[in-house]
Amino acid sequence: MSLQRVWSLFRKDFALGPRKPFFLFAVVMPVALTLIFQVAFGSLFEPKPRLGIVDEGGSEITAAVRRMEGVTLALLDDTGELKRRVQNNDLDAGLVLPPGFDAAVRAGQRPKLEFYIGGESLASNRIILSVTAIDLIRGVAGLEAPVTVETVRFGEAGLPVAIRLVPLIVFYALVLAGVWITGSSLVEEKEKSTLAALLVTPARLNEVYASKWLLGFVFASFMAAATLFLNRAFGPRPLDVLAVILVAAALNAMLGLLVGVLSKSSTTLFTLIKGAGIFLFAPVIFYLFPDWPQWIARIFPLYWIIEPIWQVSVMGEPLARVWFELAVAVAITAALVPAIMLVERRMKA
């Protein structure tokens, strides 16, 4: 095998690939899923109370709310604008603090307080903001709260839904870039008869396969890393995450090469990927439903790359924690090489 010819074939595919529809689809799909899941589902399942304040006298309450991490604060200058945003459900509640409000509260007076509640806001957000406002006013007056609340958690803290969707998005990035691009590139060579033309040259079949695998490996690595970055899930150990991504990309590109060898046309390729989609997708479901028996996920080959990505990027575990899973993934990748050559001989026969 000539590495120079492999590199030349790879450069040709890399230069022409981005112009083709299946390349664009593999790049756009993970980005679109990130926008859908993180923006739509993230805001749906983890809404923060939104409080608007019109502070006409520099109250301590405004400074206290600004320091709170669980409340989204919007400072406005006009009471009319505050009412409009609460009515339009842009804010869950609105608070108007008149001049001298803090001094009046400390003097024991009962100053007028305008507090608006949005009719379409979540009941939980209304309660949070109402209790927060009362507690802050008590703090200004120097009064202690009538009760002390102690939060006690039972069991393990659950992860947000948006975080649990990260394996799903990374799965699509790896499969589309690794399996789909590798297989489609090889099948296109068959359909356009350019593969036969290449074999007339000094290039060998294994060199063509190596260039296709390298193409899928590079794109899968890039798309997986970009997807984790967009989802803010690269973790505290980026080098460990990068090592896991490279192993995952190598396995997916090898699966794509196998699919490309088995497929005689684009129709066959699409049928194979669609038919094997459930088999490939299965381990991701167990991250969405952690109460299911997790040992079942180990039956599926892509579990051995999704699990390391989950542990290293999302859970922040070191690379030593997932060495066994990575070893299994490398072994599967290596076992696919003779399988591909065996399939190719049978296809020739």
Q: How many CB atoms lie within 10 A of CB 147?
A: 6
User: What's residue 327's pLDDT?
Assistant: 92
Per residue in 154-204, pLDDT (tens digit) is 334 445 556 667 777 888 788 888 888 888 888 888 887 777 676 677 777
**Coil, strand or helix at 67:** coil
Q: What residue has token string 């590079």?
A: 218
Residue whose token pair is 């997708």: 281
| pLDDT tier at 38, thresholds 50, 70, 90 | low
Q: Which strands, in side-by-side order, build the sheet including 93-97?
A: 72-75, 50-55, 93-97, 114-117
Domains of the chain: which residue ranges? 3-41+160-348, 47-141
Class of domain 47-141: alpha beta
Q: Would you say 186 and 35 are in contact if contact means Cβ atoms under 8 Å apart?
A: no
Residue 106 or 195, more confident: 106
d(CA 170, CA 311): 13
> Percentage of the chain surpassing pLDDT 70?
85
Of 160-174, 199-213, 295-309, 331-345, the poorest mean pLDDT is in 160-174
Give Cβ neighbours of residue 245 (< 8 Å, ≥ 6 apart). 221, 224, 225, 228, 309
What global pTM score does this model have?
0.63
Residue 113: exposed, middle, or buried by beta-carbon count in 10 A (0-12, 13-18, 19+)? middle
Alpha-carbon distance 321 to 31, whole Å? 29
CA angle 38, 303, 314 (to 5 degrees): 40
Alpha carbons 153 and 157: distance in angstroms, whole number: 8
Which among 142, 136, 114 is positioned nearest to 56, based on CA atoms?
Answer: 114
Place of tokens 């099948």: 187
Q: Which amino acid is at 26?
A: A
Average pLDDT over the chain reads: 79
Give the span between the Cα atoms of 74 and 82, in whole angstroms. 9
How does pLDDT run across 114-164, given as a tens digit for each residue?
888 887 777 767 777 887 887 887 777 776 655 454 444 433 444 555 666
Of 73, 122, 63, 112, nearest in space to 94 by CA: 73
* DSSP secondary structure letters along 108-176: T-----EEEE-TTS-HHHHHHHHHHHHHHHHHHHTPPPSS-------SPPPPPHHHHTHHHHHHHHHII
Q: Alpha carbon of 53 to those of 81, 118, 126, 142, 216: distances in Å?
A: 11, 14, 15, 22, 53
What Rg do the C-alpha atoms of the chain give, in angstroms? 28
Look at residue 147 in the predicted model and tell me its pLDDT: 46
Instruction: Give residue-wise pLDDT tens across range 231-256.
Output: 777 777 888 889 999 999 999 889 88
209, two tokens: 């396969």
